[in-house]
Amino acid sequence: MPLETGLYYIENGNDTVGIFYELGSDTARPPIPVFNKADRGAWNIVHLQNGRYKICMNGRCSEDLNSGIVLGEGGWDWAIRPMHNEHMYMFIESIEAGTLGPPRGWTVPKPSEICQVELREYPDIGPSKPQIFRITPAND
């Protein structure tokens, strides 16, 4: 079952940064201040065919970005081209329900489940620096 439409909150437990995700729309919302960090933005995840998702930020979807790759082979079910903020470029490589688990593959989480997202800088852009995030529904 695909994720339900709604706002979701992404949090890095170490740095307490956040992003709201809105699911089910091709048009991203205006930027939503979460904390006074560069890692703020209005992201939305759009359900495509065969359980795949695309992600957009402020109206720019993953396929519109002119650098990076979208992985679709070797067990990857979903991935995103690099995101950009004031400080770094990153890839969101995979999302797994519950725990990060194996780095490959997509397990569609229920809205009530905590997910983890691995964002990793790539060698051609910067040093590898994985970060683990939690995604939960934004009920507040």
Which residue in the block uniquely carries the two structure tokens 């067990």? 75
Joined together, the tokens standing for residue 96 give: 């797994």
pLDDT at 74: 24
118 within 8 A of 131, measured Cβ to Cβ = yes
Q: What is the pLDDT of residue 52?
A: 40
Sheet of strand 7-12: strand arrangement: 60-61, 53-57, 42-47, 18-23, 7-12, 131-137, 115-120, 89-97, 83-84
Find, among 27, 106, 127, 128, the residue nearest to 117 by Cα. Answer: 106
Contact present, 79 and 91 (Cβ < 8 Å): yes
Residuewise pLDDT in 10s, the chain (140 residues) = 334 444 444 443 333 333 333 433 333 343 333 322 333 333 444 444 444 444 444 444 444 332 222 322 222 222 333 333 322 222 333 333 333 232 333 333 333 333 333 444 434 434 333 333 344 444 43
CA dist 56 and 110 (Å) reads 20
